[in-house]
Amino acid sequence: MSTPAVTTRPIAFSGYHQPKDRPVEELTAQVGPGTPCGEYMRRFWHPFLLSEQLSHRPKVVRVLGEDLVLYRDLSGDLGLVHKHCAHRGASLEFGIIAEHGIRCCYHGWLFANDGTILETPGEPPASPIKERFCQGAYPVIEHEGVIFTYMGPPHLKPAFPMMDAMLMPNNRMKPYLIHSPCNWQQVSENSMDPFHVAFLHTRVSGPQFSEVFAELPIIDYHETELGFFYTNARRVGEFIWIRMHDHLLPNFSQNGAIFENVSKVRYFGRPGLTRWVTPVDDHNTYVIAWRHFNDRDDPLHQGRPENNGVGKTDFYGQSGDDPYEVRQDSPGDWDAWCSLGKVTSHEREHLGTTDRGVAFLRRRIKRAIEDLQRGIEPVKPDPVPGLGIATAGGDTILRIPKGEGDDRELILKTSQAVAAAYVKTQHLPDEERRQAITDMLAPLNTADPGQINPDHGKIFEFKTVA
Amino acid sequence: MSTPAVTTRPIAFSGYHQPKDRPVEELTAQVGPGTPCGEYMRRFWHPFLLSEQLSHRPKVVRVLGEDLVLYRDLSGDLGLVHKHCAHRGASLEFGIIAEHGIRCCYHGWLFANDGTILETPGEPPASPIKERFCQGAYPVIEHEGVIFTYMGPPHLKPAFPMMDAMLMPNNRMKPYLIHSPCNWQQVSENSMDPFHVAFLHTRVSGPQFSEVFAELPIIDYHETELGFFYTNARRVGEFIWIRMHDHLLPNFSQNGAIFENVSKVRYFGRPGLTRWVTPVDDHNTYVIAWRHFNDRDDPLHQGRPENNGVGKTDFYGQSGDDPYEVRQDSPGDWDAWCSLGKVTSHEREHLGTTDRGVAFLRRRIKRAIEDLQRGIEPVKPDPVPGLGIATAGGDTILRIPKGEGDDRELILKTSQAVAAAYVKTQHLPDEERRQAITDMLAPLNTADPGQINPDHGKIFEFKTVA
Amino acid sequence: MSTPAVTTRPIAFSGYHQPKDRPVEELTAQVGPGTPCGEYMRRFWHPFLLSEQLSHRPKVVRVLGEDLVLYRDLSGDLGLVHKHCAHRGASLEFGIIAEHGIRCCYHGWLFANDGTILETPGEPPASPIKERFCQGAYPVIEHEGVIFTYMGPPHLKPAFPMMDAMLMPNNRMKPYLIHSPCNWQQVSENSMDPFHVAFLHTRVSGPQFSEVFAELPIIDYHETELGFFYTNARRVGEFIWIRMHDHLLPNFSQNGAIFENVSKVRYFGRPGLTRWVTPVDDHNTYVIAWRHFNDRDDPLHQGRPENNGVGKTDFYGQSGDDPYEVRQDSPGDWDAWCSLGKVTSHEREHLGTTDRGVAFLRRRIKRAIEDLQRGIEPVKPDPVPGLGIATAGGDTILRIPKGEGDDRELILKTSQAVAAAYVKTQHLPDEERRQAITDMLAPLNTADPGQINPDHGKIFEFKTVA
């Protein structure tokens, strides 16, 4: 018998007996047209380009496995159409941009931004050809330097996913876009996995963000109609530090501040970034996000807006630009998720209790895909005009020194109290919500909430991007 | 239901409902051995290399999907053999060229240029091994700096396709070869599509050749036993300008002069180029052509022989060498046909009346392939010795100002008279034919046929290759 | 009928009728896990890297189609594990090397060098997760600058293949590793094909090693339990020169001296190299060998140890580093075996009598694979401690001038006598064996065995690597 007996038992030097294939979870990995997950993804708006990437010439882009051409017509409107002209197939990247719409270079047909045909020169004036077909087109929204599209059924188009964090007062948003040569799930799931921070970013190769992260967090997941938020709590000296993370289905996330010193009490700090993970195709993914810069959440101005843009952001490990050896010595998020392979194999994983968040996320997405296959449309974010969609991402820090009892129990309960305060206040505008949360949480402090911890203001050495 | 309903109706922003696949017309796209179109193509001589590309060393080439090695043996004869040695498979690109034939580097076997085995050193002298097999080889003809092969059944080998234009007196022929990374049909069909000239080359991005081309032409197709010729007629002031185009099946074409000023009467001008579109494989194609340079058809000497050769010719848009942005701003033929994709999808096109020529060509080729599948060999060009194969390509210009009636009707009738004169005279040698055509067409001029139109001699700004 | 009739009869210009496909002999070409040949290869130790290629960082390697990570832990031990972490799949090339074992960068799990799990931080202390699975790992042996692994069933692990030539006294071993982008068989079979030397290396493009090789050799193959050795005999003036070659199944070989002047009598000269041909995967192969440098076999010190290493060795034609034109003019072994294609087609070969050795080797390997499929394990080398595995590779030269009879008969009989002497003495240590062989063969000399042939000491012009 030449076929090796496959086993996963822990035998020394058992490479021979380990399974060698890495089967792909196709249901959730495939995003092309007509695939179950591709259909599901086509129920949401996705960012796919930064405004700065678009010149006055047409630009080929790829989103959800479709080749498209984006352009800004002479009137200033954006058009996003299928790459190949519906007439003979020439690429509209060579199209000539018109006052309204784009004209194919080959035979001069003119398409409106919505894909309908405006002119078919050379055809008889009475020709009904314009009525018989059109160019595939998708609606586009440009917001604060980021371009979004919705590629699903026109009649099901949801509202633009305006998040409350995108409406913060006195906040500067700077977008970035970074490519990862792997499946979207690997990138997206990373944000539901708070435990990797303790290892990848801190213990394993020295602190990339903050030594505080070396402490294993106490995590509590909360499901919502739109996805999840979770509390990520740690003791830092006399403080309990609660980071709130959002993950809205399928591919949206926010976390806490990028640079957080945990040196004094904070209430309802807001996210350091507002992020989408957009599938380019099954094997390529963009992280497209706004970094937020404001005095409230980055009082020391440690963030660097100018280091955000195409291919770069201002915190460690988000791209493959560093030399391979540097990334080997101190691997970042990008290295971790890309190194899973083009598409990772769920079947070959061995999940532990620390992988709970990833498991939750997968289950929800799988259920949503299967629901859609049965005709049940997914719930979509429905932003309140002027307020946006309420999210939780950001940090709350309370001054609650260790007590007599089990400290982990104390941390967990505190984080649950914080979560409850967030949920109760989610109908309020930013400042009011902050005040309400403060009012609810301030009594939990067991010492002067304004006091600064002199020990914790200096211990952090960040690897910022120079 | 998660599968989108596919429709081609012109709905605004209906990208979701458009078909996303691009099925290939395999019958005509595939050229490899044993494919229907590959068999059909193997009934004709095809050029595949310029003489200047061959040094004293063997050269790997690829034609109709086959990997071959071309060499010039020490006696000066050319050999074209399958790449892998029939003995053990070593590539004959490492073969050592002999006085007659080529010797494999690995074990020294010597092959004649016709593929038969001359020596099998190391084998017993009486070994019958030489009688049992041979190296695949194809006949080769070198003509005026271009190397042709015939890859079909030996007993069906046609005559070398000597065109009359290749025998023009006082004419300099300069060959060029340009690669396109796409299927041969996309390149070949371009020459049966005179309408693209009005758009791609003129209206869309400014005149690449002549402003005159902006006028939509009046086209009249004529089928012949060997393929097509068509008249491409326009009014230019007091002149009617009739360009004649040849398309011989499957992949041969000639058009009018590359630089034509339409400033005086001409009779039976001859083609600016004599061109084949040779499939390298299903996804790669060579245009191999001779540009013609002579006083008769290019009296101002606007053509530049020295700008023709490997990868280049002296008129606009025939290669991808210009920067992408330049090609986006003023796309050429090469950009148009390559941008259809590796292999375009006929099924996803929407042909109009201006695509008549392309439709005619496809129908003829498809019929010829299907005939061959039923055992009916295609008609092949049969050149008359000394005269070659009669073709039509070139320009005739008559001085026929607008009359009272429908001018388009007048232009069409004039072009039909010209076509008739060409057909009636096609048994004559060049100069005699020209005289006969002149005699037949001169009476159609309604004013002094020698008069030069002062308005039309200067309006053309050509994009020549610097 | 459009399908060409396939024939292999030697018809002139019959390329059309030759088969165009090149079917692969999958049984012996495929080396991945679970393939018949892959299973067979997994019964042997294979070298896969030079020590000098491994730094203090983990290194991705590929052996027998498996992606692995090699590292030297802080205690100095080597570990070779599957690339993807058994937990979530992150690549261990980003792992952090520990005192013993390697820690995954993503969640900090620690693996021992044997693949068992030492730590699963973040999991509850009592978690049984460590007992449920492990990381695939393979045993590694490092010897004289070369790293070997055994990837088969642990309980069938054979002894390290210590060859007698690796134990020669007063010998310097210098390893080299060279990549070939083709299937392992093409590289491995080359050493069972002594006839190519007369052509590839000598006659075809001038002497690469020695003019003496232009003489067609008299070859006699001997099968052994472990594979083959063969005698490769030539007359050189008054000498009969017998080169001995080893080929142990599946992929081990040794030949004679790299630089041999055939100027005096020698007994039991030893191999110039000790070589494995390791499949990286189906289409990539490493030659990994030690070159031997000693006064006995290279008395003129023509070898250059410093020219051996990663990608290079000190004799001609073993890599693709020379310019293409240089390799066309004087192709080497590397050019020959690579030019057969990614995987050559046995079905399209036409073997002659000179291909006997290749045919023998294929038959044995095929039989061994089929035996293993039926559960019969292959015979594996069983080195005698201190002596290693007895091999034959090297040169013996006897002074036996031409006699009255058939010289080829004389050469063959002499080489058979030499072979018999080698076989009879193979239980002896190096020096004793040499003496015994000398005692047995010296009487065959018909003139003073110590006499130097003044004619043969100077005729050789070697192409050494500069």
| pLDDT tens column, B242-274 | 999 999 999 999 999 998 878 889 999 999 999
Beta strands in A330-421, from DSSP E residues, in sequence order: 394-399
Q: Across all residues in chain A, what is the average pLDDT?
A: 91
Query: Could you read off the pLDDT of B27-70 as tens digits, one per residue?
Result: 999 999 999 999 999 999 999 999 999 999 999 999 999 999 99
* The token pair that represents B163 in the structure block: 């065109």
Residue C454 has pLDDT above 50, yes or no: no
Confidence of residue A450 (pLDDT cuts 50, 70, 90): low
Q: Across all residues in chain B, what is the average pLDDT?
A: 91
Task: Round to whole Å and give the CA distance between A280 and A270.
Answer: 29
Residues B29/B283, Cβ–Cβ less than 8 Å? no
Most C CBs within 10 A among B64, B106, B133, hence the mutation to make, goes to: B106
pLDDT at position B465:
42
The SS3 of residue A76 is coil
Give B196's contacts in chain A (Cβ within 8 Å): 106-107
Phi-psi region of B406 (alpha: psi -120 to 50; beta: other; left: phi over 0): beta
Report residue B49 CA to chain centroid gap: 14
Does residue A86 sit at the B interface (CB-CB below 8 Å)? yes
Select the residue of C204, C344, C351 nearest B105 (Cβ to Cβ).
C204
The answer to whether the Cβ–Cβ distance between C15 and B136 falls below 8 Å is yes
Does residue C114 sit at the A interface (CB-CB below 8 Å)? yes
Q: Helices B430-441 and B407-424, interaxial angle, to 10°?
A: 140
The SS3 of residue B7 is coil
Task: Round to whole Å and give the CA distance between C356 and B40.
Answer: 42
Residues A140/A70, Cβ–Cβ less than 8 Å? yes
CA angle B426, B427, B429 (to 5 degrees): 90
The answer to whether the Cβ–Cβ distance between C153 and A325 falls below 8 Å is no
Confidence of residue B212 (pLDDT cuts 50, 70, 90): low
Residues 6 or more apart whose CB falls under 8 angstroms from that of C289 comprise C175, C176, C273, C274, C275, C276, C313
Query: Could you read off the pLDDT of C32-60 as tens digits, one per residue?
Result: 999 999 999 999 999 999 999 999 999 99
**Which residue type does B325 have?**
E
Query: Could you read off the pLDDT of A284-330 as tens digits, one per residue?
Result: 999 999 999 999 999 889 999 999 999 999 999 999 999 999 999 99
The answer to whether the Cβ–Cβ distance between B8 and A134 falls below 8 Å is yes
Give B339's contacts in chain A (Cβ within 8 Å): 90-91, 93-94
Does residue C170 sit at the B interface (CB-CB below 8 Å)? no
The answer to whether the Cβ–Cβ distance between C123 and A10 falls below 8 Å is no
Q: What share of chain C is helix, strand, coil (3-state, %, to 5)?
A: 25, 25, 50
A:C CB pairs within 8 Å: 160
The SS3 of residue C287 is strand
* The token pair that represents A429 in the structure block: 């505008």
DSSP structure class, residue B127: -
Handedness of CA C211, C216, C222, C228 (dihedral sign): positive
Task: Round to whole Å and give the CA distance between A256 and A242.
Answer: 9
Give C61's contacts in chain A (Cβ within 8 Å): none
Neighbouring CB atoms inside 10 A of C326's CB total 11
B:C CB pairs within 8 Å: 157
Asked if residue B250 has a cis previous peptide bond (ω within 30° of 0), the answer is yes
C-chain residue closest to B86, CA distance: C349
Task: Round to whole Å and give the CA distance between B72 and A316.
Answer: 60
Give A30's contacts in chain B (Cβ within 8 Å): none
C-chain residue closest to B108, CA distance: C199
Confidence of residue C211 (pLDDT cuts 50, 70, 90): low
Residue B463 has pLDDT above 50, yes or no: no
Residues B37/B28, Cβ–Cβ less than 8 Å? yes
Query: Could you read off the pLDDT of A61-110 as tens digits, one per residue?
Result: 999 999 999 999 999 999 999 999 999 999 999 999 999 999 999 999 99
Residues 6 or more apart whose CB falls under 8 angstroms from that of C1 comprise B375
* The token pair that represents C46 in the structure block: 């294979």
pLDDT at position C452:
52
pLDDT at position B211:
63
Task: Average the pLDDT over C329-337 and give the result.
Answer: 95
pLDDT at position B460:
34
The answer to whether the Cβ–Cβ distance between B39 and C3 falls below 8 Å is yes
The SS3 of residue A258 is coil
pLDDT at position C11:
82
Confidence of residue A447 (pLDDT cuts 50, 70, 90): low
Q: Which chains touch C (3 or more CB pairs under 8 A)?
A: A, B
Q: How many CA atoms lie within 13 A of A426 on its CB side?
A: 17
Query: Could you read off the pLDDT of C416-435 as tens digits, one per residue?
Result: 999 999 999 999 999 999 99
The SS3 of residue A163 is strand
pLDDT at position A1:
42
The answer to whether the Cβ–Cβ distance between C348 and B84 falls below 8 Å is yes
Report residue A446 CA to chain centroid gap: 36
Select the residue of C107, C123, C153 nearest A199 (Cβ to Cβ).
C107
Query: Could you read off the pLDDT of C96-116 as tens digits, one per residue?
Result: 999 999 999 999 999 999 999
Give A350's contacts in chain C (Cβ within 8 Å): 86-87, 129, 132-133
Task: Average the pLDDT over A430-453 and give the result.
Answer: 84
Chain B, residues 344-383, CB within 8 A of chain A, namely 344-345, 348-355
* The token pair that represents B359 in the structure block: 């439709």
Task: Round to whole Å and give the CA distance between B12 and A116.
Answer: 6
Sheet containing strand A96-97, edge to edge, reads A96-97, A102-103, A110-111, A117-119
Please provide residue C431's backbone torsions phi and psi, each rounded to the nearest 5 degrees.
Answer: -65, -40
The answer to whether the Cβ–Cβ distance between A4 and C153 falls below 8 Å is yes
* The token pair that represents A458 in the structure block: 């200096």
Task: Round to whole Å and give the CA distance between C264 and C239.
Answer: 8
Residues C163/C6, Cβ–Cβ less than 8 Å? no
The answer to whether the Cβ–Cβ distance between C353 and B124 falls below 8 Å is yes
Query: Could you read off the pLDDT of B84-94 as tens digits, one per residue?
Result: 999 999 999 99
* The token pair that represents B26 in the structure block: 């395999």
pLDDT at position C259:
86
Chain C, residues 204-263, CB within 8 A of chain B, namely 204-205, 216
pTM: 0.93
Nearest to A258 by CA among A212, A192, A303, A191: A303
Confidence of residue C446 (pLDDT cuts 50, 70, 90): confident
The answer to whether the Cβ–Cβ distance between C122 and A349 falls below 8 Å is no
- The least confident of A274-283, B298-307, C208-217, C278-287 is C208-217
B-chain residue closest to A67, CA distance: B20
Task: Average the pLDDT over A432-453 and give the result.
Answer: 83
Asked if residue B378 has a cis previous peptide bond (ω within 30° of 0), the answer is no
Select the residue of C40, C122, C131 nearest A354 (Cβ to Cβ).
C122
Residues A46/A148, Cβ–Cβ less than 8 Å? yes
Nearest-Cα distance to chain B for A246, in Å, is: 27
Select the residue of B1, B10, B205 nearest A134 (Cβ to Cβ).
B10
Task: Average the pLDDT over C134-154 and give the result.
Answer: 97
Confidence of residue A460 (pLDDT cuts 50, 70, 90): very low
Nearest-Cα distance to chain B for A79, in Å, is: 10
Select the residue of B8, B345, B353 nearest A133 (Cβ to Cβ).
B8
Does residue C10 sit at the B interface (CB-CB below 8 Å)? yes
CA angle B283, B341, B217 (to 5 degrees): 110
Distances (CA, A) of C79 to A10, B257, C71: 16, 72, 5
Does residue A326 sit at the C interface (CB-CB below 8 Å)? no
Give C345's contacts in chain B (Cβ within 8 Å): 89
Does residue B22 sit at the A interface (CB-CB below 8 Å)? yes
Residue B447 has pLDDT above 90, yes or no: no
Task: Round to whole Å and give the CA distance between C413 and C410.
Answer: 5
Q: Which chains touch B (3 or more CB pairs under 8 A)?
A: A, C
Neighbouring CB atoms inside 10 A of A367's CB total 13
A-chain residue closest to B9, CA distance: A133
| ipTM score of complex | 0.93
Residues A240/A233, Cβ–Cβ less than 8 Å? yes
* The token pair that represents C97 in the structure block: 């090397």
Task: Give me the count of residues in chain A.
Answer: 466
Task: Average the pLDDT over A268-284 and give the result.
Answer: 98
Task: Average the pLDDT over B172-176 and give the result.
Answer: 98
The answer to whether the Cβ–Cβ distance between B327 and A94 falls below 8 Å is yes
Task: Round to whole Å and give the CA distance between B244 and B236.
Answer: 16
Give B133's contacts in chain C (Cβ within 8 Å): 8-10, 350
pLDDT at position C210:
63
Most A CBs within 10 A among C28, C109, C134, hence the mutation to make, goes to: C134
Task: Average the pLDDT over B391-409 and give the result.
Answer: 95
Neighbouring CB atoms inside 10 A of C409's CB total 11
Task: Average the pLDDT over A399-425 and give the result.
Answer: 95
**Which residue type does A23 have?**
P
Residue A198 has pLDDT above 90, yes or no: no
Task: Round to whole Å and give the CA distance between C400 and B266.
Answer: 89
